Structure formats: C-alpha cells, structure tokens
C-alpha cells in the first residue's frame, strides 16, 4: 500500500509540475475558445439586430414608393444605404429608387442608384438586374459602347438570355444587323420554349430583315 501511495504521490507531483509549466497555455486556449463561441453568438445576435433595423428602414422605402415621390423614395433608400449598406435591403431599396427616378425622368440620378447596386449588392441577381437596367438606360441615351461594356460583364447562365437579347437591341441600334441577329438567336435559344418573351425575340429577328 505504501508503495502504491508513493506511486500516486509521484503522479500527483508530476501533474503539478506539468500544470505549472503548461497551465497558462491550457487556460489561454480555453479562454480563446469561450471568447470565440461568445463572439460567434454575439455576431449572430448583432446580425439579427442589424437585419431587423434594415427591414424597418426598407419598410419606410416601400411606404414612400406608394407616394410616387422620387425624391422621398431616394432619400429613404439613401438613409438605408448609409446605415446598412451591406444588407440586401439596401440594394433592393436602391433598385426601387432607381425605378422611381426613371419614372420622374431623373435619368442621371437613376444611373447613380443603379451603379450603387452593381458595386455594393451582395447578391448576383440584384447586380445583374441593375446592370441590365443600366444598359437599357445607356441604350436609350445612345451610349452604345457603354451599354455593351455593361453587357460584357460575367453573369449567371440563367441571365444569358436577357443579356443576349439586350445586346441584340444595342447592336441593332448600331446598324450591326448580322451581330444583332446572332445575339437574338442566342437569346432565343436560351429562353424557355413556352415563354411569350421568346416570341418577342423572334419578332425582333424577323424585323432585322435579311443580313447584308
């Protein structure tokens, strides 16, 4: 028994020595782990609060949309962007503001709002929506090269038909019939066979006449 007690005592002393040498490191790891968990929990809670606050401001934007006042809509969207610019609500609000600006014939402001979405949106769908709208605006302004630059941007396969169709519009406006036809054909091929939009693309191709 004495031998066993001595062995246990040696193990205790060895454990004490190890703890003295390594205890601070172990505690440090535990603290980092706890703080890391607390940090993740805090961040998730913070994100939830941010999203809720952004949602409230977005509701204000939607409220202003009903007023059809482009300035009030734009101001509400800008307030949201300045405080929660990284939220999906901010980009959606800017798209609504851009639409209101276009309806109010404030094209310059609409272009700025659309460009904001292109540069800040975290969702590709919102970026592509803004890019297509901006390209359409540039087409109306006969800024064909600038419109084509927007349409040269990388985009998801699901948007290929829309990009190609608008490219066809720009090329057609430039008098580039053969290139426009090729773009329309791509748009036609990428569009659902049951879509009425496909019929519109066909009408555009028919309207080009014969290729010179």
pTM of whole model > 0.75? no
**How far, in Å, are 18, 99, 150 from residue 116 at the CA level?**
59, 13, 14
In the predicted model, is pLDDT for residue 55 greater than 90? no
Compute φ and ψ for 161, nearest 5 degrees.
Answer: -60, -45
Share of the chain above pLDDT 70, in %: 75
In the predicted model, is pLDDT for residue 94 greater than 80? yes
Measure the N-to-C terminal CA separation of the chain; round to a whole number of Å. Answer: 108
As a whole number, mean pLDDT of residues 21-42 equals 44
Sign of the dihedral defined by the CA atoms of residues 179, 185, 191, 195, in that order = positive
């Amino acid at each position: 028994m004495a031998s066993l007690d001595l062995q246990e005592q040696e193990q205790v002393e060895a454990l004490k020595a190890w703890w003295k040498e390594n205890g601070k490191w172990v505690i440090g790891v535990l603290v980092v782990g706890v703080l890391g968990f607390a940090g993740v929990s805090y961040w998730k809670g913070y994100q939830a609060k941010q999203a809720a606050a952004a949602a409230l401001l977005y509701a204000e934007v939607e409220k202003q949309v009903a007023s059809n006042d482009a300035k009030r809509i734009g101001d509400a969207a800008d307030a949201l962007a300045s405080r929660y610019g990284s939220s999906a609500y901010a980009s959606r609000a800017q798209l609504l503001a851009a639409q209101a600006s276009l309806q109010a014939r404030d094209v310059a402001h609409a272009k700025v709002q659309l460009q904001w979405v292109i540069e800040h949106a975290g969702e590709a769908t919102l970026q592509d929506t803004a890019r297509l709208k901006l390209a359409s605006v540039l087409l109306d302004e006969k800024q064909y090269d600038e419109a084509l630059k927007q349409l040269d941007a990388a985009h998801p396969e699901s948007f290929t038909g829309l990009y190609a169709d608008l490219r066809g519009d720009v090329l057609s406006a430039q008098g580039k019939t053969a290139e426009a036809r090729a773009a329309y054909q791509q748009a036609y091929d990428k569009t659902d066979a049951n879509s009425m939009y496909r019929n519109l693309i066909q009408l555009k191709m028919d309207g080009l006449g014969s290729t010179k």
